[in-house]
Amino acid sequence: MSLPIIILCLISAVLALTMLFAKSPITSALCLLGVLLMTAGIYGLIGEHMIATIQLVVYAGAIMVLFIFSIMLLNLSNSENDFKKKPALFIFGITIGFTLFGFFAYSIKNHFQFHLQDKLLGIFTPQLVAQLGGNSKVLSHALYSQFFVSFEVISLALLVAIVGAVVLAKRKVD
Protein backbone atom coordinates (compact mmCIF):
# COMPACT_ATOMS: atom_id res chain seq x y z
CA MET A 1 0.00 0.00 0.00
CA SER A 2 1.39 3.40 -0.95
CA LEU A 3 1.80 6.38 1.35
CA PRO A 4 -0.90 8.58 -0.29
CA ILE A 5 -3.48 5.79 0.15
CA ILE A 6 -2.54 5.42 3.83
CA ILE A 7 -2.84 9.20 4.31
CA LEU A 8 -6.29 9.24 2.67
CA CYS A 9 -7.39 6.30 4.84
CA LEU A 10 -6.28 8.07 8.02
CA ILE A 11 -7.98 11.32 7.01
CA SER A 12 -11.13 9.35 6.18
CA ALA A 13 -11.08 7.65 9.58
CA VAL A 14 -10.66 10.98 11.40
CA LEU A 15 -13.50 12.52 9.37
CA ALA A 16 -15.73 9.51 10.10
CA LEU A 17 -15.11 9.83 13.84
CA THR A 18 -15.73 13.58 13.67
CA MET A 19 -18.96 12.88 11.79
CA LEU A 20 -20.14 10.53 14.52
CA PHE A 21 -19.33 12.80 17.46
CA ALA A 22 -20.24 16.22 16.04
CA LYS A 23 -23.21 17.94 17.62
CA SER A 24 -24.17 20.02 14.59
CA PRO A 25 -25.93 18.24 11.70
CA ILE A 26 -24.21 20.42 9.10
CA THR A 27 -20.80 19.51 10.54
CA SER A 28 -21.72 15.84 10.33
CA ALA A 29 -22.87 16.24 6.73
CA LEU A 30 -19.68 18.04 5.72
CA CYS A 31 -17.56 15.36 7.41
CA LEU A 32 -19.53 12.71 5.47
CA LEU A 33 -18.74 14.67 2.32
CA GLY A 34 -15.06 14.54 3.27
CA VAL A 35 -15.26 10.77 3.76
CA LEU A 36 -16.86 10.36 0.34
CA LEU A 37 -14.15 12.53 -1.26
CA MET A 38 -11.40 10.53 0.43
CA THR A 39 -13.01 7.31 -0.79
CA ALA A 40 -13.03 8.67 -4.34
CA GLY A 41 -9.37 9.60 -3.94
CA ILE A 42 -8.52 6.09 -2.79
CA TYR A 43 -10.34 4.60 -5.78
CA GLY A 44 -8.48 6.99 -8.08
CA LEU A 45 -5.10 6.08 -6.62
CA ILE A 46 -5.66 2.36 -7.06
CA GLY A 47 -6.55 2.87 -10.71
CA GLU A 48 -10.35 2.52 -10.59
CA HIS A 49 -11.08 5.85 -12.24
CA MET A 50 -14.64 5.09 -13.29
CA ILE A 51 -15.67 4.15 -9.74
CA ALA A 52 -13.89 7.26 -8.42
CA THR A 53 -15.76 9.43 -10.92
CA ILE A 54 -19.10 7.86 -10.02
CA GLN A 55 -18.27 8.34 -6.33
CA LEU A 56 -17.57 12.03 -6.93
CA VAL A 57 -20.47 12.80 -9.23
CA VAL A 58 -23.24 10.70 -7.67
CA TYR A 59 -22.45 10.46 -3.98
CA ALA A 60 -20.24 13.45 -3.18
CA GLY A 61 -22.10 15.61 -5.69
CA ALA A 62 -25.78 14.86 -5.98
CA ILE A 63 -26.58 12.95 -2.76
CA MET A 64 -24.64 15.29 -0.47
CA VAL A 65 -26.25 18.34 -2.06
CA LEU A 66 -29.63 16.89 -1.13
CA PHE A 67 -28.46 16.15 2.44
CA ILE A 68 -27.03 19.63 2.97
CA PHE A 69 -30.05 21.39 1.41
CA SER A 70 -32.39 19.36 3.62
CA ILE A 71 -30.44 20.33 6.72
CA MET A 72 -30.35 23.99 5.66
CA LEU A 73 -34.05 24.16 4.83
CA LEU A 74 -35.15 22.34 7.98
CA ASN A 75 -32.94 24.63 10.08
CA LEU A 76 -31.78 21.78 12.32
CA SER A 77 -28.87 23.75 13.73
CA ASN A 78 -30.21 25.58 16.77
CA SER A 79 -26.94 25.53 18.70
CA GLU A 80 -23.69 27.29 17.95
CA ASN A 81 -21.19 25.85 15.56
CA ASP A 82 -18.91 23.10 16.89
CA PHE A 83 -15.87 25.05 15.72
CA LYS A 84 -16.71 28.05 17.91
CA LYS A 85 -16.82 25.86 21.01
CA LYS A 86 -13.56 24.03 20.29
CA PRO A 87 -10.79 26.13 18.73
CA ALA A 88 -8.48 23.07 18.58
CA LEU A 89 -10.99 21.41 16.24
CA PHE A 90 -10.90 24.52 14.04
CA ILE A 91 -7.09 24.50 13.88
CA PHE A 92 -7.13 20.76 13.12
CA GLY A 93 -9.66 21.36 10.33
CA ILE A 94 -7.55 24.13 8.82
CA THR A 95 -4.46 21.88 8.93
CA ILE A 96 -6.33 19.04 7.23
CA GLY A 97 -7.69 21.50 4.65
CA PHE A 98 -4.23 22.76 3.71
CA THR A 99 -2.91 19.19 3.59
CA LEU A 100 -5.71 18.14 1.27
CA PHE A 101 -5.20 21.23 -0.88
CA GLY A 102 -1.53 20.35 -1.31
CA PHE A 103 -2.37 16.73 -2.05
CA PHE A 104 -4.98 17.67 -4.67
CA ALA A 105 -2.66 20.27 -6.24
CA TYR A 106 0.04 17.61 -6.56
CA SER A 107 -2.47 15.14 -8.04
CA ILE A 108 -3.78 17.69 -10.55
CA LYS A 109 -0.22 18.55 -11.63
CA ASN A 110 0.52 14.86 -12.20
CA HIS A 111 -2.80 14.44 -14.02
CA PHE A 112 -1.96 17.15 -16.53
CA GLN A 113 1.55 15.83 -17.06
CA PHE A 114 0.24 12.30 -17.63
CA HIS A 115 -2.44 13.39 -20.11
CA LEU A 116 -0.22 15.79 -22.03
CA GLN A 117 -0.08 13.37 -24.95
CA ASP A 118 -3.91 13.40 -25.11
CA LYS A 119 -3.87 17.16 -25.71
CA LEU A 120 -1.47 16.73 -28.62
CA LEU A 121 -4.13 14.85 -30.63
CA GLY A 122 -5.50 18.09 -32.07
CA ILE A 123 -8.87 18.61 -33.70
CA PHE A 124 -11.11 15.58 -34.10
CA THR A 125 -11.98 14.97 -37.73
CA PRO A 126 -15.07 12.93 -38.64
CA GLN A 127 -12.80 10.05 -39.67
CA LEU A 128 -10.93 10.13 -36.34
CA VAL A 129 -14.21 10.22 -34.39
CA ALA A 130 -15.50 7.19 -36.32
CA GLN A 131 -12.21 5.38 -35.79
CA LEU A 132 -12.30 6.03 -32.02
CA GLY A 133 -15.82 4.61 -31.62
CA GLY A 134 -18.29 7.44 -32.12
CA ASN A 135 -19.21 10.80 -30.67
CA SER A 136 -20.24 9.71 -27.17
CA LYS A 137 -17.09 7.66 -26.62
CA VAL A 138 -14.84 10.51 -27.78
CA LEU A 139 -16.78 13.04 -25.69
CA SER A 140 -16.68 10.92 -22.54
CA HIS A 141 -12.97 10.22 -22.99
CA ALA A 142 -12.21 13.91 -23.46
CA LEU A 143 -14.46 14.93 -20.55
CA TYR A 144 -12.95 12.49 -18.06
CA SER A 145 -9.33 12.82 -19.19
CA GLN A 146 -8.44 16.14 -20.79
CA PHE A 147 -11.16 18.35 -19.30
CA PHE A 148 -11.74 16.62 -15.95
CA VAL A 149 -10.60 19.57 -13.86
CA SER A 150 -12.66 22.03 -15.90
CA PHE A 151 -15.70 19.78 -15.50
CA GLU A 152 -15.27 19.64 -11.72
CA VAL A 153 -14.66 23.41 -11.43
CA ILE A 154 -17.89 24.11 -13.33
CA SER A 155 -19.81 21.71 -11.08
CA LEU A 156 -18.34 23.42 -8.01
CA ALA A 157 -19.31 26.85 -9.38
CA LEU A 158 -22.87 25.63 -9.95
CA LEU A 159 -23.00 24.24 -6.41
CA VAL A 160 -21.86 27.57 -4.96
CA ALA A 161 -24.46 29.39 -7.05
CA ILE A 162 -27.24 27.08 -5.83
CA VAL A 163 -26.20 27.45 -2.18
CA GLY A 164 -26.08 31.24 -2.63
CA ALA A 165 -29.54 31.25 -4.17
CA VAL A 166 -30.96 29.20 -1.29
CA VAL A 167 -29.34 31.48 1.30
CA LEU A 168 -30.70 34.61 -0.41
CA ALA A 169 -34.16 33.07 -0.80
CA LYS A 170 -34.23 31.95 2.83
CA ARG A 171 -33.19 35.43 4.00
CA LYS A 172 -36.16 36.97 2.17
CA VAL A 173 -38.61 34.42 3.65
CA ASP A 174 -37.46 34.97 7.25
d(CA 164, CA 153): 16
Instruction: Label residue 2 by pLDDT band (50, 70, 90).
Output: confident
For the cut 80, the answer to whether the pLDDT of residue 30 exceeds it is: yes
Residue 75 sits at φ, ψ, to 5 deg, of 55, 55
Vertex 89 angle, CA 87 and 95, to 5°? 105
Buried b (16+ CB within 10 A) or exposed e, 23-45: ebbbbbbbbbbbbbbbbbbbbbb
> For residues 49 and 141, what is the distance between their CA atoms, to the nearest angstrom?
12
- What pLDDT, on the 0 to 100 scale, is given for residue 79? 52
How far is 59 from 65, CA to CA, in rounded Å?
9
CA of 25: how far to CAs of 40, 54, 74, 101, 124, in Å?
23, 25, 11, 24, 48
Q: Which band of pLDDT confidence, cut at 50, 70 and 90, is reported for residue 13? A: very high
Contact in structure between 166 and 73 (CB atoms under 8 Å): yes
Residue 53 neighbours by CB under 8 Å, 6+ apart:
40, 144
Q: Given this structure, which CATH class describes domain 1-113?
A: mainly alpha
pLDDT at 32 over 70: yes
**Residue 26 to residues 20, 68, 108: CA-CA distances in angstroms?**
12, 7, 28
Residue 30: which of 64, 72, 76 has the closest Cα? Answer: 64
Average pLDDT over residues 104-112: 71
Q: Please state the domain extents for the chain.
A: 1-113, 115-174
